Structure formats: structure tokens, C-alpha cells
Structure 1
Amino acid sequence: MFFFFVGGLEQQVRLVQKSGAGRCIACGSRADLVDYDKVLKVFFVPVWRWPGKAPLMHCSSCHLFFPPSASLPPPPPRMKAEPHGMRCGSCGRPVEPEFSFCPFCGAAL
């Protein structure tokens, strides 16, 4: 006698807390901060739901769930052009044009 179990665990979005809160770590699309439910399915029918512990980021393009700390940071501020050189976008101090990083604050230029 054989018994086959067709089922599994899945995460589903319950509530979108903040739309466009970050970027997906897999595809780079916009990701939302969401509350989610874990769902046990047996033969593709939801049997039991329970809430997730902490909010997660969810990409609507590739349907990936990931922690908010892993999302891509916003792009760094760009440096401003001046007639006598460049200024750092973070601290505003003048920087030589050949530098890749600000020598004062360490921000990428």
C-alpha cells in the first residue's frame, strides 16, 4: 500500500504596508513592504494559515519574498560639477575630479 502526499508550504501577501519601499534583490524591480501569511496546502487546497512574524519585502514581478535589510539601497547622491572642480554629493566639500571616493566622508562619487 502506498500513500502519496501532494502538498506544501507557501507564503502569501496579506497586507501591503508600504508600496515601492525598496528594490528586489533578484530582478531589481520595485518591491513592497508587506505582512504575509504562511499557508499549508494539501492537494493544492489551503488547509491552514498563520501570520508571519515580521514584515518582508515582496517583489510583484518575480514573486520573491526577502527581508527588508537585504533590499538594494537607494543610489548614492551624485556629485555636483563646479568650474574649479567637483563637490561631494554627501558632505558638499570640494573634491578632485579624478577621485572615485570622497576623501572626507568616504562616499562614492
Structure 2
Amino acid sequence: MFFFFVGGLEQQARRVLKSGAGRCVACGSRADLVDYDKVLKVFFVPVWRWPGKAPLMHCGNCNLFFPPSASLPPPPPRMKAEPHVLRCGSCDRAVDPEFSFCPFCGAAL
């Protein structure tokens, strides 16, 4: 007798408390402060939901949930860029001016 469990636990944003409250720690795009639910799914169907304990930041670009910036250490200071170097607004890498999209992350320049 075999038993296979196809399911998992995930977080889903329930409501946005403050739109554009910060930046994503992974991709650097805008992140919202949200109330969230933890959701148990079985065969990709939500079976049970319960609310999360404290609000989290949620990035809509990479779907990452992370704690608000008050509980995170401050980011390292950015180096001053040369004025003639084009940088991607998403990943902050130097890009040739002839590109319309970043070759590293695909964001529009």
C-alpha cells in the first residue's frame, strides 16, 4: 500500500496595507506591506487557510514575502556611479546604452 501526498504550504497576500512601502530585498522592485494567509493545498486545491501573525512585505515581481525593513539590518551603502554609465533600475548592474532591456534581469531600461 502506497500513499502519495501532492500538496504544500504557501503564503498568499490577503490585503494590501500600504502600497509601495519599500523595496524587495531580492530583486529591488517595489514591495507592498500586506496582511497574509498561510494556505494548505492538496492537489493544488486550497484546503485550509489561517492568518499570518504579523504583516509582511510582498514583492509582486518575484512573489517573495519578507519582514518589513525595521527588522532588517540597513542595506550596505551604494558606491557612487560614474555619471556616463547606464545602470539597470532593477538589478543595478552596468549596461551598455544600446540595450533597451537589461541583459542580466530582463527589465526594461
TM-score for both structures, normalised by structure 2: 0.64
Residue identity in the other structure for 2:10 = E
Residue identity in the other structure for 2:18 = K
Q: Offset of 1:72 from its aligned partner?
A: 6.5
Equivalent residue for 1:11? 11
Distance in 2 (CA, whole Å) between partners of 1:41 and 1:71 is 33
- The percentage of counterpart residues that share the same residue type is 85
Query: Which of structure 1's runs of 4+ aligned residues deviate more than 2 A?
Result: 69-73
TM-score for both structures, normalised by structure 1: 0.64
Equivalent residue for 1:48? 48
Equivalent residue for 2:20? 20
2:46 match: secondary structure: strand
Long gaps (5+) in structure 1: 77-109
Equivalent residue for 2:60? 60
- The 1:71/1:34 distance shift into structure 2, 3 A limit, reads farther
Residue identity in the other structure for 2:46 = P
Larger radius of gyration: 1
- The 1:63/1:72 distance shift into structure 2, 3 A limit, reads farther
* Residues 66-77 of structure 1 aligned to structure 2 (within 5 Å): 66-69=66-69, 70=72
Distance in 1 (CA, whole Å) between partners of 2:28 and 2:19 is 15
When the two structures are aligned, how many residues end up with a matched partner?
A: 75
1:61 match: secondary structure: coil
